[in-house]
């Protein structure tokens, strides 16, 4: 059923239509086929298709450019981030989401990628993508990139440089006076972002409740 849903929707199995993964014939056939995985036992989870509907599925493991899924049995097929918008594994608290639509190079060599959702609320969404490094330079620059978006708009790379980070946050969180003051004073940085977004969500909730409690004319 899983394969049928994804293929009928016009999406290919990873490696059969998406450049984000290793295409058949481009890897040594004497090694293990990277589009397949054997994993005994039950691994229940679910994925959200491109239609926005969640479907039950078995999930063995995932990497930045693929997730291994099946309907039943011990053999799993690799699927691309382009085939879905999110997935979750039962027993884990993490939601893994697809990040796409970025300029070339923002996701390393990948056009789309899976990332771990660190925060979602008040219209804000923050995702951590740990890219694979092939050199010491990539190890220092690429891994653990943070991406943020507001009101489901385009993803933005969270800058590591403090001044650029502050400038971006002043735009995204401009309606919270307390956070704006802290940003202007230089008291928060990139490592504080999940907590900062939690505080922003609390501010928005309080603001909504105060507005809702006002008597209507």
How many C-beta neighbours within 10 Å does residue 25 have?
Answer: 7
- The pLDDT tens digits for 45-93 are 999 999 999 999 999 999 999 999 999 899 998 999 999 999 999 888 8
pLDDT tier at 16, thresholds 50, 70, 90: very low
Predicted TM-score (pTM) above 0.95: no
Q: Mention every residue, 6+ apart, whose C-beta is less than 8 A from residue 124.
A: 148, 149, 150, 172, 197, 200, 201
Q: Is the per-residue pLDDT at 10 higher than 50?
A: no
- The pLDDT tens digits for 121-176 are 999 999 999 876 555 555 555 567 999 999 999 999 999 999 999 999 999 999 99
């Amino acid at each position: 059923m899983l394969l049928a849903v994804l293929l009928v929707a016009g999406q290919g199995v990873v490696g059969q239509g998406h450049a984000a993964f290793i295409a058949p014939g481009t890897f040594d056939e004497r090694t293990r086929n990277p589009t397949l995985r054997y994993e005994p036992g039950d691994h229940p989870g679910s994925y959200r298709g491109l239609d926005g509907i969640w479907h039950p599925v078995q999930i063995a493991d995932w990497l930045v450019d693929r997730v291994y899924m099946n309907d039943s049995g011990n053999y799993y097929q690799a699927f691309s981030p382009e085939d879905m918008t999110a997935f979750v594994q039962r027993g884990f608290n993490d939601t893994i989401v697809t990040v796409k639509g970025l300029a070339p190079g923002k996701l390393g060599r990948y056009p789309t990628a899976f990332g771990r959702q660190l925060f979602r609320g008040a219209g804000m969404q923050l995702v951590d993508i740990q890219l694979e490094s092939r050199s010491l330079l990539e190890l220092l620059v690429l891994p653990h990139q943070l991406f943020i978006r507001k009101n489901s708009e385009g993803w933005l790379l969270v800058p590591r440089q403090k001044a650029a980070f502050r400038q971006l946050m002043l735009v995204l969180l401009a309606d919270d006076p307390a956070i704006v003051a802290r940003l202007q004073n230089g008291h928060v940085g990139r490592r504080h972002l999940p907590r900062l977004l939690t505080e922003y969500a609390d501010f928005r909730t309080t603001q909504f409740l105060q507005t809702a409690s006002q008597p209507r004319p």
